[in-house]
Structure formats: C-alpha cells, structure tokens
Amino acid sequence: MNPPRFVLSSCGTSVFSNGAPDAMRELVNRHANDASLSGEEGAKLESWLAEVERTFPAIAPEEARRRSAELNGLLGIYGAQWPEGARQDYLVLVHTDTALGRRAARVVAGWLEARGFAPDLVGPDGLNTRSEEEFRYGIAALISWLEEQYLPEWAAKGSRPIFNLLGGFKAVHAYLTVLGMVYGAEVVYQFEGSQELLHIPPLPGVAGSLAATARRYLEQDFPRFRRLALHLPVTDWTDPPETLVLTDAHGLLLSPWGELVWLRLSPDFYQRQLWDPPDPRVRFSRRFVGQARAYAGTAQMAALNRHIDDLVRYLVDRERTGTAAIPERLNLKPIRSPRPPSTHEFYAWSDKDARRVYLHFEDGNRAVLDELGKHL
C-alpha cells in the first residue's frame, strides 16, 4: 500500500453560492469577507446557510462536484469510488478567517466525514482579503503551520503532498501555488468551463534553487533577519531584499516568503555558533561566551540560541505591557541555592549533557547571562 498522502484544499464559499438563487448568490459574494453576519442581509443569509448545512451532507458525489469547487477537486483526484487507503490520507481544508469561510469549510468537512474521512480545518487569523496587512499576516501564519505541523510529521512518512486549488480566493492560490513548488507538491487546478482537472506535477529543483538564493541573503544579514523574526525594529537596513522583507506603517517586517525562509534556514544558522544577543536587553559575560562556544556546530547550540530568543521575547513583552508570561520552553525561574552573581536560571537544553544558563538582572529588565553550567 502506498504511504498516506497530504492533500491540502483551499476552501472558498462555493457550497453557498453554487445552486443558490441569484439574489442569494449576490449576498454571498457581497459578504464573503465579513468577519460576522448581521443586519437584515445577515438574517437572510443565515436562513440559506442553515438550509445548505442541513441538506448538503447527503447529496451524491456528482452533485457535490457541481456544488463545491473543493469537492470537485477532491473527487477528481480520488474518483467517485474512493480507492483503498484513501481514508488514511491527511485531508486539510484551508479556509479564510471570515464568517462564510469558516462555515463553508465545515459544510465540506461534514460531507467528507459522512464518508469516513476526518479532515482538519485550518483558518489562520487574518487570512482574508479585507486588507493587505491582514492578508500578509494570515499567509505568514499558514506558512508557519505548514512548516511546524506538516513537515515534521508527514514529510517523515514519505507523504506526497497534493494542493487542490479549485476553491478559495485567487490571492490565496497565488501563494499556495508557489508553496506547492517549494514543497514539491502536485498542484491541481481546473480548466475554465470544464470538469477536467489540470495536474501540474512537482517541479524538481525549485526548492533547492530558492533556498540557495535565500541563504545568501541570510549569510549577509542574519542578525537583522533574526530581529525581524522576533518582531523587533530594524532601522539601519537601507536596501533589504524586497521579496523577503516588506515595509508598512510600523517599519520593516518579514514577508510571507521571508517567514518561510526563516523557518526553513534559521535552524542551520542557530547551530553554527553562539550569535550575539538580538537585543540590548540581554548581554553575555565573557565566562558564558567561552563556555557556550564549546558547543558550536551542535543541536545544543541551536537550542541555546532559540532559548535566548525566548528570553528576549519575554523581556520585550514585560517592558511593553508591565507583565508577561514566561515561555514554557524557557522555564526561567529563581535559583534555589545561592550562586552569586546569578539569581535566576533557565534551560539551555534538556537532552544529553543537559545544561542550564545562570543569569542575573540589572536595571530591572536587563539580563546578564553569567554562566553555562550543570544543574545545581
């Protein structure tokens, strides 16, 4: 039996617009980006949505293909008679952060669940086209989800990704098409005015070529990329790579592609060496630097750099809000036994040869990392 496949479907509102009366279809299109439904038009829509939600799970596959762009793609991939092992595949419906987007995805999921599937619904905050800024954040959140959830689990299984892009907003399709190239996915579209599907096979070498270009940018400006990844201001970068870094009213920020590059490539950079603190709220003692450098090129060094990021995030949030939750991964806490000048500790890493970072605070919100040592 073939390994299970990862099948991602972009999800729009076709289940509510296809087959609807003209007036109702116009309302669906008009309110497709609304965060919630209200008023007289919202009430009219609610009545129609409830009717679709009630009747849709029982419709036959051919009607499902006419009514739902998402199911048209999935049934085109699988066929009306689901092949053996299909229900072991991981089906994901990516929907917009809107009232209609969420409910449409639930309708499609309900039809699949009635036939033995267990699809996941993913609707990142901000994934809508109400504003460019919200859309960027939504796409970045989607990329983070793919990197953190899909890659570790499904790539390890040898899963072949398929991106079904028959449903959803065209703006989302543009990003998912490029992501499909990066992930080596088969991308599925539909010919205009036809039931026939267009299968674009994986494009070999795209991911490697993009990574090589992006790596050169990180080699040149890793500390700046790191600050942007931590949502810290960068004011001294006059010519950042425009595909990876955007400018908005608040300054520079990573683009969705910049987020992807960071998630993909930063682990290698973190493993190389102890990088200087990304913010002046943290500084290193000479003793700490000498001890840490012994772990250059190891997974332990990568963990240490990430925990320093966690410490910076905590200090920034505490200064901004007056209070902040300590990241669980950091486990920052007071030392039980005296170890002057250190007053606190956090985990550097917890696997083999576990180490703690011992530190103290100056001027209230400035951390000095004194020592890298064994647990007391």
> What's the distance, CA 313 to chain centroid?
19
Give mean pLDDT, residues 331-351. Answer: 92
Helix-, strand-, coil-residue percentages of the chain, each rounded to 5: 50, 20, 35
Over 90: is that where the pLDDT of 12 sits? yes
One domain for residues 249 and 333: no
Over 80: is that where the pLDDT of 247 sits? yes
One domain for residues 304 and 375: yes
Segments forming the whole domain that contains residue 122: 6-200
Average pLDDT, the chain: 90
Alpha-carbon span 93 to 59, nearest angstrom: 19
The pLDDT assigned to 305 comes to 98
The pLDDT assigned to 271 comes to 98
Sequence-distant contacts of 57-63: CB under 8 A, at least 24 apart: 57/107, 57/110, 57/111, 57/113, 57/114, 58/114, 59/111
Backbone angles phi, psi at 355, to 5 degrees: -135, 155
225 to 29, 84, 188: CA distances (angstroms): 39, 46, 34
One domain for residues 107 and 188: yes
Alpha-carbon span 271 to 257, nearest angstrom: 22
One domain for residues 193 and 221: no
Give mean pLDDT, residues 160-165. Answer: 89
One domain for residues 58 and 110: yes
Yes or no: say if 225 and 218 are a contact pair by the CB < 8 Å rule: yes
pLDDT (tens digit per residue) in 18-67:
999 999 999 999 999 999 999 999 999 999 999 999 999 999 999 999 99
Token pair 């009232």 is at which residue?
Answer: 99
Q: Give the total residue count for the chain.
A: 376
The pLDDT assigned to 64 comes to 95
One domain for residues 136 and 88: yes
One domain for residues 242 and 301: no
The pLDDT assigned to 277 comes to 98
Token pair 């619904």 is at which residue?
Answer: 121
One domain for residues 209 and 343: no
Query: For the residues of 154-183, what is the DSSP string, one character each?
Result: IITTT--EEEE-SSS-HHHHHHHHHHHHHT
Give domain status of residue 24, yes or no. yes
Over 60: is that where the pLDDT of 193 sits? no
Give domain status of residue 96, yes or no. yes
Among residues 272, 305, 323, the one where a domain terminates is: 272
* Token pair listed for 45: 């829509």
One domain for residues 225 and 356: no
Number of domains in the chain: 3
- For the chain, strand residue ranges (E) read 6-10, 90-94, 120-122, 161-164, 186-190, 197-200, 245-248, 251-254, 282-284, 333-339, 342-349, 355-362, 366-373
Give domain status of residue 1, yes or no. no
- Band (pLDDT 50/70/90 cuts) for residue 217 is very high
Among residues 272, 295, 323, the one where a domain terminates is: 272
Give domain status of residue 54, yes or no. yes
Assessment of whether the complete model's pTM goes beyond 0.85: no
pLDDT (tens digit per residue) in 80-136:
778 888 888 999 999 999 999 999 999 999 999 999 999 999 999 989 888 887 888
Task: State which amino acid sits at residue 329.
Answer: R
Domain of 104, CATH number, reads 3.40.50.10770
One domain for residues 71 and 180: yes
pLDDT (tens digit per residue) in 314-329:
999 999 888 888 988 8
Among residues 170, 185, 200, the one where a domain terminates is: 200
Domain of 307, CATH number, reads 3.30.2310
Percent of the chain with pLDDT over 70: 95
One domain for residues 39 and 119: yes
Could you say which DSSP state residue 126 is in? T
One domain for residues 258 and 289: no
- Band (pLDDT 50/70/90 cuts) for residue 10 is very high
The pLDDT assigned to 100 comes to 97
